[in-house]
Amino acid sequence: MPTPKVVFVLGPPGAGKGTQCKNIVEKYGYVHLSAGDLLREERAKPGSQYGELIENYIREGKIVPVEITCSLLEKAIEDSGKEKFLIDGFPRSKNNLDGWNNTAAKRINLSFVLYFDCPLETCTERCLARGAAGSGRSDDNLESLQKRVKTFLSETEPIIQHYKAMDMVKTVDATKTENEVFEEVAKIFDEIKV
C-alpha cells in the first residue's frame, strides 16, 4: 500500500469547507473525510460509548478530545483503501495537532493545508441560514455559533498560523459564490497535480 496523502481543510464554521470538498472529490478523485461528520456519525451509533460526550462538545462548540477524532479518521482512511484524502475540519486545536503528530503522522503524509478565509460575520450568517433551511444540526443556532466562533479564534487560528510558519498553507477567498471559490480551489489542485 502506498503511504496515504492528506490535505487538511480549515476555515471558520460556514466557510464552505464541506461544499468545496465535494467539488474537489468530483474533479480530483479525493476521498472526503469530515471530522465533524465522523463525530456526528459516531454520536448517532446506538450504544456508542462516546455519543453523549460528543453531543455535549458539539453543542458547546468545543473540540472533542483527539483520541476519539483521530481514531475515527484513521479507521476511515484504512477502511477506504484509497490514497488521497481531504480531511475537513481537522486539526482544529493544539490537542488535535499534537494527537495527529504523535500517531497518524508517522503513517500518513500531509501535502498542504487548504484554508478558506472568510469574515466571521458572513460565516455566522451562512450557518444561521443553513439552520433555518433545516440542516438539522444542533449547533446551527446563534448560541452555539457564538461558541464555535470563539473556539475558532482561540484554538484553530493558532493552528493555521503554525502551518503558515511552515509555509504549508494555501489560502482561498471564501466570500465569493460557490463556483467562483471553486475556480480558485481548482487552480491550486491543477498546479500541484495531486
The answer to whether residue 96 forms part of the interface with ligand C5P (CB under 6 A) is yes
- Indicate left, alpha or beta for 88 from its phi (over 0: left) and psi (-120 to 50: alpha): beta
Q: Supply φ then ψ for residue 35, to 5 degrees.
A: -60, -40
Binding part of the chain for ligand C5P, among 89-97, 110-118, 162-170, 172-180 by CB under 6 A, reads 89-97
Q: Which is nearer to ligand C5P, 150 or 187 (CB)?
A: 150
Interior/surface letters 139-150, b for 16+ CB within 10 angstroms, e for the rest: bbeeebbeebbe
Minimum gap (Å) between residue 132 Cβ and ligand C5P: 17
String of contacts with Mg ion for each residue 2-41, x by CB under 5 A: ----------------x-----------------------
- In the complex, the smallest distance separating the C-beta of residue 42 from ligand C5P, rounded to whole angstroms, is 11
Is 51 an interacting residue with respect to Mg ion (CB under 5 A)? no
Q: Which does 23 bind (CB under 5 to 8 A by kind): ligand C5P, Mg ion, none?
A: none
Cα–Cα distance, 168 to 97 (Å, whole number): 14
C-alpha to C-alpha distance for 128 and 121, rounded to whole angstroms: 11
